[in-house]
Amino acid sequence: MTTALIADDEPLLRERLASLLGGLWPELKVVAQARNGRQAVELFDQEQPQIAFLDVHMPGLNGVEVGRCIGGRAQVVFVTAFDQYAVEAFKQGAIDYLLKPVEPDRLAETVQRLRRRVEVPVATSSPDYAAALERIALHMRAAQPVQPRLKWIKASVGNTVRLIPVEQVIYVKSDNKYTLVMWEGGEALIRKTIRELADELDPERFAQVHRSAIVALDRVSHFTHGPGDSGELHLKGRDEKLVVSRSYLHLFQQM
């Protein structure tokens, strides 16, 4: 049985696409539905579907960034209400896409292509595909308004509450019900989740490396490949290493 993931921040649009797919491709099983980009990556790693339908505009990670995380592990179809420039970029990159609102006839064409492709190796790891995604991602970043970024993290240190400047943060990591903040002055616990921090921290300075960890890029000394589809980040002046999961390897493989 062929499996698929649908990611869209609009529940009604997710359900409509799932319903249309059920009529056009009864053998297809939608094994996961995600409401944002970060959840899409987590559910993809968990379910390993063969196909991913990704809304281009989602909070947190957008659909293009999710597509880069997925890499060559699935057939990817982008769903977009984007302007004509972006549609042309999708076409030039030979990337499959659907325009919103999704029309049954257009979806039927995509289903026919997917039926043929799902039995052959995925081509989404090719340099041309990656370059096309990078062009689209650059266009999206240029078109988006600048969002205010987190400057301080309020954290409990012993019996006191401290404001930690983000430029002093080395990494943050999930720790049971809390998030551990490692910074120049030591360590502290906060209640804010990794997912919330990932949306608030400056993506030019911080990168998520695992579903449970974010690192300050200027604190990284080097990257090494680990066993299987993983890697490790080595930190400047520190002994501990951070595991990089497969979905985030593409951020560090050129180091």
User: Which tokens belong to 131?
Assistant: 């370059």
Same domain, 87 and 171: no
Q: Which helix (H) or strand (E) holds 18?
A: helix 11-24
User: How many domains does one find in the chain?
Assistant: 2
CATH code at 166?
2.40.50.1020
pLDDT digits (tens, 9 = 90+) for 129-158: 777 777 777 777 666 666 688 999 998 777
Same domain, 58 and 181: no
Same domain, 47 and 114: yes
Same domain, 171 and 113: no
User: Which tokens belong to 78?
Assistant: 């982008």
Cβ contact 250:71 at 8 Å: yes
Sheet holding 231-235, edge to edge: 220-225, 231-235, 241-244
Longest dimension (CA), the chain: 63
Same domain, 7 and 125: yes
Instruction: Calculate Rg over the CA atoms of the chain.
Output: 20
CATH code at 70?
3.40.50.2300
Same domain, 73 and 180: no
Name the pTM for this structure. 0.77
User: Which tokens belong to 15?
Assistant: 């359900």
Q: Which of 90, 113, 143 is the last residue of a domain?
A: 143
> Residue 90: CB partners within 8 Å, gap ≥ 6?
78, 80, 82, 96, 97, 132, 136
> Residue 16: CB partners within 8 Å, gap ≥ 6?
102
pLDDT digits (tens, 9 = 90+) for 34-78: 999 999 999 999 999 999 999 988 887 889 889 988 878 899 999
* Boundaries of domain holding 33: 3-143
